[in-house]
Structure 1
Amino acid sequence: MKKIIFFLIAILAITGCSRTSSYIYEIKSSSPTVKSTSPRFSFDKSHLVDGDTKTSWQIRTAKGGVGEWLELKLKEPMDISEIVISNGFQLKDPEFGDLYFLNSRLRKVSICGDDTKCADFNIIDTKENIHLAVNFKKVMDIKIVIKDIYTGSRWPQDLAVGEIKLVKEKSVVEILLSVLAIAGVLAGLVFFIKSYMKKS
């Protein structure tokens, strides 16, 4: 019984917890990454998909990133139902303080799938995850164009983005596997509780 439960949990993890980094083979941007003068900070593009909201990708331009773009190239065609963005540099530094407000953040973006289907999104200024609903079918490329920013109080020319997550639209098979896995885990818990109550 335990082996069955572990197997079902594994199915649930595989179907529901894939990281965005596993979908992407290249990240491109129109401007080079900011080179930090401090060894404590790195602003590489890889931070966009490292699963850590306390790291960030940053660029520096005269307009604070307005007009620049970011491109995620996928390993294979994918159906994307949602893009989740963690805005700004969400780190409280002992020297500089709250870096979220000191750097510029996304305010308005245009997101395109394969440079064909595009949509504009207004982004609220929050440290919470921002969920943007899209309907991209069999795309190989996601392009985010920066239309407007919230200006940073100390480094207005530096635009920071913490994390970008692509939410893959699940197939019918994946949905069924998830449902079966959840049902199996619940059944296992019920069995365990009943067995425990009988022993006690």
Structure 2
Amino acid sequence: MKHLWIFLLVPSFLFANGGGYLTGIKHTGAFQRTSALQPKNVEQVEMISERLEIDLHIEYADVRIEYVLHNPGKKVKIEAGFPSAISVGVKYDENAPEGQQVKPETLKPKIENLVLKADGKDVKWQQRSDEFKLSEEGLVEGAVVNSWHVFNLDFEEGQTRRLIVNYRNPYYGEYDYVSDDARLGPLSLTYLFSAAGLWAGPIKQGTVIVKAATISPESVTLSHPKRFERKGNEWHWQFTDFEPTLEDDLKIVTREAMFQQSAFNSASQEEQEKAQDGDALFLNEYVSYGESVFDDEGKLKGKNWEFWRSDFTIEASSTLAAQGEKNYKADNLRDSGDEGAWVEGSKGDGVGESLSLKLPKPAKISRVGIVNGYATSKDLYQANGRVAELDVSVNGGEAKRVSIPDEFLENEKFFFDLPASDKPVETIKLTIAKAYPGAKYQDTALTELVLIQPLEKAPKIQPAR
């Protein structure tokens, strides 16, 4: 029985040849007031200090917070919580009887790896839903409401307690598509400093450190940049007697909005004849960054145009033997819609194995985008080895070593620059120099690979219909 989850952003995304969905957690931070859940007794407790550290990765941020809290009054128990998203979606079962194929569901993703410790001891928490209503009609209206990771903390009279919080916050993103057009909203998280306004008095002192861990710091924007001092790939801010309002909430954008359109005509006649459901026609994509819209004349206005290319030939030095109908050939890397990956076939962890790419004709390729590991699921990603370092050479020239983060990616890619070349790129060789070991298999895998060619001007693109 086939099931399809559709995440709805707004009702207008229900196109006959398109759709839309949401990812991640939009807001982060503790103790926010909501319609159904009110923090209890926090107005009696002072926040002596707050130290916030946010490490920015490709699809998520690791958040660490240290609060020093003081109760100047009588013994009290506080109740507070950290927000998480609830996506209201639709479950579609094509094999169900007519009229019963679409069923509203509520999905409750948690912020990941949440650990709370008070004075060094674990604090228990539970996920609790805020009030929300599903549409009573056949299809629900797309929405994101809140759920909460709620905890209790006891304070004796005059007691000061240290609360340590660690969790992983998937970035919030909006995606919609019509036919071969896709619009990707920016990836972001918003830290709710305003929630601290519920506590007694101001935050007496605080430190904020934002670090670009596995993304380029140049891709990061902060909503209050003048408050921060940048030091390399970090931003630092220190404050005293801070009484935050809604205007003080910190929004961090890690990847700006994107527009993508597949280039149908890149497929050869042979590839078109082999295509199933047209998949092989989507070999290349035009991509622009920032808000991109079609004007009244049908011309697309965007910036920083790129051509994402998969029309190269690719050969591997070794390939894991196929298992039944499942193969692990290098050509899997050219088709992101394929439920597979390239897996090297040597003994050991694949160090020294390589991929050789050749373009149909030389071009000004500037960088490469990859999805590391066997990324069709988290379980397969962890079970198999992943690339930790690559030796990258262009046109047979000297190799440049590139470090690859060990991150499971569902929607984004990791990009790295190619070595400088005084000639257009014709061939690229990628050699595994180091691997992250798999938990179950001693094989190293890659799921997707694309070559990035910057464009000097916008291409001629027609909107999808």
Give the structure 1 partner of residue 441 of structure 2.
Answer: 155
Q: Residue in 2 aligned with 1:131?
A: 415
Letter in 2 for 1:133: D
2:288 matches 1:4:
no
Change beyond 3 A, Cα 1:155–1:80? same
Q: Could you report, residue by residue, the CA deviation over 1:52-111 in whole angstroms, capped at 9, with x for unpaired residues? A: 37420111222221011110011011111111110011123xxxx710011111000111
Q: Which residue does 1:109 correspond to in 2?
A: 390
- Stretches of 4+ moved more than 4 A in 1? 15-19
- 2 CA distance for matches of 1:53 and 1:161? 13
Distance 1:116 1:131 in 2: 20
Instruction: Name 1:20's counterpart in structure 2.
Output: 309
Matched, 1:165 2:447: no
Structure 2 match to 1:34: 320
Unaligned runs of 5+ residues in structure 1 are 186-200
Q: 1:52 aligns with which of 320, 334, 337?
A: 337
Q: In 1, distance between residues paired with 2:408 and 2:308? A: 20
Aligned-residue offset at 1:17: 6.9
Distance 1:117 1:79 in 2: 18
TM-score normalised by structure 2 residue count:
0.32
Identify the residue that residue 77 of structure 1 maps to in structure 2. 362
The alignment yields a C-alpha RMSD, in angstroms, of 2.8
Among all aligned residue pairs of Structure 1 and Structure 2, give the percentage whose two residues are the same amino acid.
Answer: 25
In structure 1, distance between residues paired with 2:341 and 2:449 = 10
Distance 1:63 1:17, change over 3 A: same
Distance 1:3 1:111, change over 3 A: same
2:351 maps to which residue?
Answer: 66
Distance in structure 2 (CA, Å) of the matches to 1:99 and 1:113 = 31
Residue 376 of structure 2 is matched in structure 1 by: 91
RCO comparison, higher one (Cα < 8 Å, 6+): 1
Kept after mapping to 1: 8 A contact 2:390/2:433: yes
Q: Taking structure 1 as the reference length, what is the TM-score of the superposition?
A: 0.71
Tell me which amino acid in the other structure corresponds to 1:69.
S
Give 1:21 deviation, angstroms.
2.3
Tell me how far apart the structure 2 counterparts of residues 76 and 3 of structure 1 sit (CA, whole Å): 36
Q: Which has the higher helix share?
A: 1
Q: Which of the two has greater strand per residue?
A: 2
Map 1:171-186; keep pairs closer than 5 Å: 172=456, 175=457, 177=458
Cα distance in 2 between the residues matched to 1:116 and 1:53:
32
Structure 1 residue 18, shift from structure 2 partner:
4.6
SS in 1 for 2:322: coil
Tell me which amino acid in the other structure corresponds to 1:132.
Answer: F
